[in-house]
Each structure stands twice: as structure tokens, then as C-alpha cells.
Amino acid sequence: MDQRDESKSLSADYGNSHSDFEVIPDNSENTMNLSENLEAAKEELKLWQSKLDKLDKEKSDLICEKLDVDEKKKQALQELTQLNKEQEHLQIEFQKAEKSFKARLSDKQAEGEKLKEQLLQLQHELQRNQNDCDRLRSKFKVKAVMPEKNIKFIKLEGIVPNDQEDEEFLKIKCCYQILPKVPFVLQNGEALITFEDEHVANTILKVPKHHINLDPGKIDVKVQPVKLDSARKFEVHVDICRKTVKVYQISDSLPEEQMRDKLEISFSKPSLGGGEVEHIEYDRSSGTALVTFVEKAVAQRVAEQKKYKILLTEETSCLVTVEPVKQYSVKKFQTFNAICKRTVLLTGIKDVLEEEELQDKLEIHFQKPSNHGGEVENLKYVPKDQKLTVYFGEDVEEE
């Protein structure tokens, strides 16, 4: 029971009114506690207010962020829509480009097939032209390589003193006449017959068909003139220098001027077969040189060695190739059709006898004057499944 209840009880018990006395309760402690509680409540209120402000700020920030995100989302949706439109446009353009590319590819493939056909035709034409070129080259070619011949000079026209010699006397002049040898292919069932007298050959040609008596039996052969390919005749003139030799395979181990000096010193040594050098033309890039001596006999002596020693240092040396300087020229080149005056071609010969026996029968027939024949110099028959190449010289005799 609190104080108020106690005061009420006292008044009831004693019948006294408040005017008689008044009991004043002591509230100082409660007042103090209330004040402390109020301060604590205020502090707590501030704390919650601070938290509330912080939450309001976070809420505002979140709202702003949400607005930003919404704006970005809106922009992203717009960009996505734009990209989808661009993708559709690009897809359409790609399909158009692909269709155009396929059409162009098809055209190019067709063009490639045509080019392949043209290339094949051109290759065939090139092969034909090469064959024609080879045939013509074989027909008209001139071999530059001359066969080695032992030449013996048996007569000296005259002696000229050295001080009176001019440029003509500094060269040895040679002339080779190249006489034609014309090939002729003799097929099976054919024969070539050469008479000693060309008049007999002309008479035989006037009778186109001859009856050859085989005893028993006979065969008919046809007579034709021998048609040869074009022949060539020319002269090869060779001038050999008597004072100069050409040097090959010169080492490039030394500088140009130093190597030139080594060449002059080496070719000037009589102990190596050389002699006094007049001048040297040296080409370092090709490794060659032209060495001209004062005396004519030195060049011939050096060229006969074929290999010559070059002294590079006191301890080292090298071998070079030497040969005489030659100048070639072709003169009096003539192309003409060869005519066989004493030889005729027999065709249509049947293979009924052995080769030697049939050849004897042919020779006997064409030797008889009664058959318009004459003395036979040579006869060659080619039996079945064979062929033979014969060559005619300038006098149109079989060789």
C-alpha cells in the first residue's frame, strides 16, 4: 500500500478532514530518477534519431541508385533494341553478300574451267610448237663443237721478219669446210640402189614399175626419186692468237691489284714455262684473265701446259687453267635441197625370199641393160618390220 492509500485510511479511521493536517510525501528521489530517465530517453532519442537520419539517407541513396539503375536499364534496353535492329540489318546484308559471293564464285569456277580448257589447249599447242621447233632445230642446227684433229703443216709459204709482222701474222688461221650429211629413213619393203652412172638412174626412173623375176614367180616394185631434207654447207674459220692465252679458275683470295701482280710475276718466270709479259687484262668477278706475252713462242708453250702454277705467297700457290685465245666465225653458210643423181628408191617389195637372196635378185635385174639398167655400185634392202637410216654426202653417195 502506498502513501496515498495510507492517508486515505487515516482520514477514514480518525474522521479527520484534510483541513486538520496534511501529509506531504517525500518525492525528491523519484524526481531525480525521472530526470535521469528523461536524459537517458533524450540521448536514446538522439541515437535513434541519428539512426533514423542515417536510414533516411541510405534510403535516399538507394532510391537514387535505383533511379540510376532504372535509367541505365532503360538505356541498355534501348541499346539492345538498336543492336537487335543492327543485327537484323547485318544479317540481311550478310545474306545478300553471301548470295552475291556464291554467284560470283560460281562464275569464277566456270571461268576457271574455261581457263583450264584453254590452258590444256595451249599446252598441246606449245608441245606441238616445241616438237616443230625441235624438228627445225635438228634440221638446221650447226654443231659448235669441232672434233679434235691432228693437224700437220707441211708447207710454209714464206718467212717474214719479226719487225715487219703486222696483226695478220699474230694469228694462226684455220678453215674447216663442213660438208653435209643428209639422213634418209629407209622403211621395211624398201630398197636404195645406187648406180655408177647417173644416166642409168635417170633411165630407170622413166619406168615407174619394174617386174622382178624371182624364178619361180615375180614381184612388181615401184621406182621413185630419193627426196632428201634440206642440207647445210658452211665453213668454220678459226683464228688462234700466237701471243695471248686465256686463264680460267683464278682464285679470288687476294685483292684485284695484288692478284694482277701475282699473275704477271708468275707468267714472267721462265722456270714455270713463262716469259716476258706485255700486259694483263684481269676480271676478278669471272675469275679470268688475258695474258699477252712479248714473244709469240711463249704463248704456245704456256697453252700446251693446260695447267699453270700461280705463286700467291712464298709458301702457297694455286693452279689455273690456260688455253689459247680462239675466235670462231661461220662463213659461206648455204642451205639447199640435196638431189640424188645416181640413187633411186624401190618401194612395194614383198617379203617372199630371204634378205640376201631377194637383194641379189634385185641387183641382177637392175644390172641388165635389157631392163634399162647398168652397173650397180651399191644396193640396200630393208626387210619386214625393220627400218634403216642412211646418210648421203655431198656427192650423193650412200655411206
Q: Are 305 and 273 in contact (CB under 8 A)?
A: yes
**Residue type for position 289:** A
Structural domain 238-325, CATH architecture:
2-Layer Sandwich (3.30)
For the record, the C-alpha cell of 81 comes out as: 533494341
Element (H, E) at 221: strand 218-248
Quick one: DSSP state of residue 206?
A: T
For the record, the C-alpha cell of 5 comes out as: 492509500
Chain segment 136-178, per-residue pLDDT in tens:
766 555 554 555 655 555 544 544 455 445 455 567 777 877 7
Residue 155: partners with Cβ closer than 8 Å, 6 or more residues away: none
Chain segment 10-56, per-residue pLDDT in tens:
444 444 444 455 555 555 666 777 888 888 888 888 898 888 888 98
Dist CA 256 CA 14 (whole Å): 159
pLDDT per position in the chain (399 positions), as tens?
444 444 444 444 444 444 455 555 555 666 777 888 888 888 888 898 888 888 988 888 899 888 888 888 899 999 999 999 999 999 999 999 999 999 999 999 999 999 999 999 999 889 888 888 877 766 555 554 555 655 555 544 544 455 445 455 567 777 877 777 778 888 888 888 899 888 888 888 888 788 888 877 888 888 888 888 777 778 888 888 888 999 999 988 889 999 999 999 999 999 989 999 999 999 999 999 999 999 888 988 999 999 999 998 888 889 999 999 888 888 887 777 777 888 888 888 887 788 888 888 888 888 888 888 888 888 888 887 778 888 777 653 433
**Phi/psi class of residue 57: alpha, beta or left (left: φ > 0; alpha: ψ in -120 to 50)?**
alpha
